[in-house]
């Protein structure tokens, strides 16, 4: 089940975020996203939050800001289910472009995005803090063109 995140879900979201990333988003960033104009989604498995996503909608573009699946649920297709859900929501709101940044070292995420039709369109040098705590890491900029007219 995928549902909108509310403040009561924040502890589950933070648990997954902290288990998944060496440099997780802070609780205040999630609070701002939940209370602000971003869309925040929680994917549940057996009644427990096992992943989440945050997207920003500006005009006819959707920007994926965060997508995360708990490590114990990795490689089970839940990330793909959540991503496909986000794409379907973007199409519903008649967005024309869906874009994201991904760590250049995150090969499994890059493979997922390519398999869902995203294209690499650029590089953002030194975009992410390095997970080792030393230096920075590049991000690939990826986009998916949404041909809204063919889905109507």
3-state SS, one letter per residue, for 33-57: HHHCCCEEEEEEECCEEEEEEEEEE
What are phi and psi for residue 136, nearest 5 degrees?
-135, 165
Known catalytic residue: 113?
yes
Distance from the Cα of residue 55 to its chain's centroid? 7
Catalytic position from the list 12, 17, 39, 101: 101
The burial of 75, by beta-carbon neighbours within 10 Å (0-12 exposed, 13-18 middle, 19 or more buried), is given as exposed
Exactly one of 113, 116, 137, 151 is catalytic; name it: 113
Catalytic (active site) residue 85: no
Interstrand relation of 136-145 and 119-129 (parallel, antiparallel or unpaired): antiparallel
Catalogue the active-site residues.
101, 113
């Amino acid at each position: 089940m995928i549902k909108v995140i509310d403040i009561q879900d924040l502890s589950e979201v933070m648990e997954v975020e902290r288990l998944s990333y060496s440099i997780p988003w802070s609780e205040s960033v999630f609070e701002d996203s939940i209370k602000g104009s971003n869309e925040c989604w929680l994917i549940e498995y057996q009644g427990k939050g096992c992943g989440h996503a945050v997207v920003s909608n500006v005009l006819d573009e959707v920007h994926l800001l965060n997508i995360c699946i708990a490590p114990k649920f990795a490689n089970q297709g839940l990330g793909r289910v959540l991503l496909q859900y986000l794409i379907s929501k973007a199409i519903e709101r008649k967005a024309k472009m869906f874009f994201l940044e991904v760590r250049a070292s995150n090969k499994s995420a890059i493979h997922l995005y390519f398999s869902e039709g995203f294209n690499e369109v650029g590089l953002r040098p030194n975009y992410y803090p390095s997970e080792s705590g030393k230096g920075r890491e590049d991000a690939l900029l990826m986009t998916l063109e949404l041909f809204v007219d063919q889905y109507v």
